[in-house]
Chains A and B, each alone.
Chain A
Amino acid sequence: MLKIENLHATVDGKQILNGLNLTIPSGEIHAIMGPNGSGKSTLSYVLAGREGYEVTEGSVTFGEVDLLAMEPEERAVAGVFLAFQAPVELPGVGNANFLRTALNAVRRAKGEAEIDAIQFLKLARARMKVLNMPDDMLKRPVNVGFSGGEKKRNEMLQMALLSPKLALLDETDSGLDIDALKLVSDTVNSLRGPDFSALVITHYQRLLTHIVPDRVHVLSAGRIVKSGGPELAHELEASGYGAIQDAAA
């Protein structure tokens, strides 16, 4: 499904990713852990196509296609979804309007009929219930005045509605209370299936007890330095990154 080979990327001329290799087969969920500043968010932005994140070497294949050749919106409608570490506020833009526009963009790309406001509200409300979000969050401007945890839940609402093929979750668990963590995990787990894969970026093993990953990778200084099964997350929690970084150096 997703194949990253020898990926090098710079931001503002600064080398951040240094020959990263990673393959996520369809249906699998992989976790990435790693120290602050190791390049996790950078990787997610490169995959989503953010301007200013320049790929200097390497390739990324998504299904059969060259992901790096696509515009961000093309990647989105092809099924890539990035849940932001810091979701962006859009003053004056109603959440419902935003979500429905996004959903219809994706549906158009799939050759499906656009969805009207009434059908949309039904769908959205059902998903919001699962995430324990109050209805009025649909009326409010996107992320404006949302608490940290509410913003993260709003990202999950978007993900659930757009039902992507590849979800990139950048520290979606940070700032969530214990109950919300459970709800968010349920949402991710509900999407699990043979056509869904995910890359879950997190600092905490706790998330991975809810969303049990197929593989865990450690990112350090812009490359994967260690990979393993779910147990790797436990090891890290116990011993920190120091030992791995030393071994890799």
Chain B
Amino acid sequence: MAAVTETIEAVQSVTESGYKWGFETDIEMDFAPKGLNEDIVRFISAKKKEPAWLLEWRLKAYRHWLTMEVPHWAAVSHPPIDFQDAFYYAAPKQGPKSLDEVDPELLKTYAKLGIPLKEQAILAGVEGAGDSPSEGGRMPIAVDAVFDSVSVATSYKERLAKDGIVFCAISEAVQTHPELVQQYLGSVVPQGDNFYAALNSAVFTDGSFVYIPKGVKCPMELSTYFRINAKSTGQFERTLIIADEGSTVSYLEGCTAPMRDENQLHAAVVELVALDDASIKYSTVQNWYPGDAEGKGGIYNFVTKRAACRGKRSKVSWTQVETGSAITWKYPSCILIGDDSVGEFYSVAITNNRQQADTGTKMFHIGQRTRSTIVSKGISAGHGQNTYRGLVKISPKASGARNFTQCDSLLIGDQCGAHTVPYIENRCMTAKVEHEATTSRIAEDQLFYCRSRGLTQEDAVGMIVNGFCREVLKELPMEFAVEAQKLLQISLEGSVG
């Protein structure tokens, strides 16, 4: 059986009692003391046996962070975060080196999450599961799993290595490919870029690293699952993907966290670099714990994601399905430097109950004939607040640049809100920028039509919402589209009627 089916089945087994990923794993953990100071930064760096340059890099970020203020321009509200009241490092005590050494409790966790790790292939009787390029004709998926602060398992590594592809934990890449890490780390999102990026740069603990060599088409989906498990921990992962000339890669991240009545901070940084003719597709299915119906608990998801299309004709496509988190604050962006480079942003963001999302994208057109497409679908239900915030900036040199933006909002109920804040700065006479926006509600006649065919109210809402999001969902890798559809429906349970 293909590993992927496991994921889908795990999601299909989900029934109606809300957040299904709310279990906690009982694993012995290794914590750094609570709070944040230079010693903690040194502690993290030492734990990871990092070279001196990286420690310096972190300290510089930390010192910069101290001078910065929490951003308050986003349309979200939350009590002030006490940055001293969190753990900045939490790792399973048994340091796993390979899949076989992974704590079985952990593997169980991932099985519950529906992650297609190696053991599932073994259970299915696949010989050399970690190394087989294809099972049952399906594309396999290589997975890196990040548990709290540490990357625990990377499957299919050997298969990928045959093509010269590097796919590993970033802490491992620091050891094995220091020159690549040093060259690109912070080259897209500098240490002092913003408050949360600076914090991440100081204390990032793990995340994935991908390098696709010249001319290589990555033969499988690469995927990382993030999970926050330990109490009072923040997760600060850092992902760096470099697609060398003429290469192609599709990468997917999935996220979950246990239910807790406290708020937990997740401040990730993702940097993508695409060189000449390279193409990166980055998909996110974000299902962090959203908090309960009254807004207690949930993840604060403050993420900086940015891509540099440095090469000519390079392409980066962001697709995100954001169903979880108490607060989402993220703007995956593209800096279109290379002539004829292309940036895309496809987004579905759902806010139900007391969730808040302020999300969108920024497209910076610098090269000639650069093109960008933005399709944003915001769904608000309950008391949810959903803001699309976007910036399209076209520099005077970007002759012939084009942007098309479409923002659609769907409201369910009358207590929620949808807001669209599109900024356009066009400094180029020959550029063309188009913007379309709509706001709609699920119509009573649509619901009745579905119900009169035997669909329950919830199935009807799920179906209509999935229809509304179709343009975005079809951008997801096939295997994950099913998962995303289920998630959408689950996230909206109890929102109507």
Contact = CB atoms under 8 A, between A and B. Distances in A.
A91 B467 contact: yes
A92 B467 contact: yes
Interface stretch (B17-25, B89-97, B124-132, B456-464): B456-464
A93 B466 contact: yes
A167 to B, nearest CB: 12
Which residue among A82, A97, A101, A162 has the maximum number of chain B CB atoms within 10 Å of its CB?
Answer: A101
B177 interface: no
Contacts of B454: 73, 76-77, 102, 105-106, 109, 162
A91 B454 CA distance: 19
Which residue among A52, A75, A90, A106 has the maximum number of chain B CB atoms within 10 Å of its CB?
Answer: A90
Interface residues of B, number: 23
B217 interface: no
B223 to A, nearest CB: 25
Contacts of B455: 73, 101-102, 105
Interface string A43-75: 000001111100000000000000000011101
Nearest to A74: B454
Contact of B453 (A51, A52, A141, A158): A158
A88 interface: yes
Interface residues of A, number: 31
A84 interface: yes
Given A50-B448, A101-B463, A92 B453 contact: no
A90 B450 contact: yes
B445 interface: yes
B446 to A, nearest CB: 6
B118 to A, nearest CB: 29
Nearest to A82: B452
Interface stretch (B108-116, B155-163, B383-391, B468-476): B468-476
A244 B223 CA distance: 73
B437 to A, nearest CB: 16
A87 interface: yes
Given A51-B444, A73-B456, A90 B451 contact: no
Nearest to A91: B467
B449 interface: yes
Given A88-B445, A88-B446, A101-B459, A48 B452 contact: yes
Nearest to A80: B452
B459 A91 contact: no
A53 to B, nearest CB: 10
B463 A93 contact: yes
A90 B445 CA distance: 10
Interface in B399-453: 443-446, 448-453
A101 B489 CA distance: 14
A162 B467 CA distance: 22
B464 to A, nearest CB: 6
A92 B446 contact: no
A90 B464 contact: yes
Interface string B80-102: 00000000000000000000000
A73 B455 CA distance: 6
A141 B467 contact: yes
A120 to B, nearest CB: 14
B444 A90 contact: no
Interface of A: 48-52, 71-73, 75-77, 81-82, 84, 87-93, 97-98, 101-102, 105-106, 109, 141, 158, 162
19 contacts: A48-B448, A49-B452, A50-B448, A72-B451, A73-B452, A73-B454, A76-B454, A77-B454, A88-B445, A88-B446, A88-B448, A90-B449, A92-B466, A92-B470, A101-B463, A102-B453, A102-B455, A105-B453, A105-B456
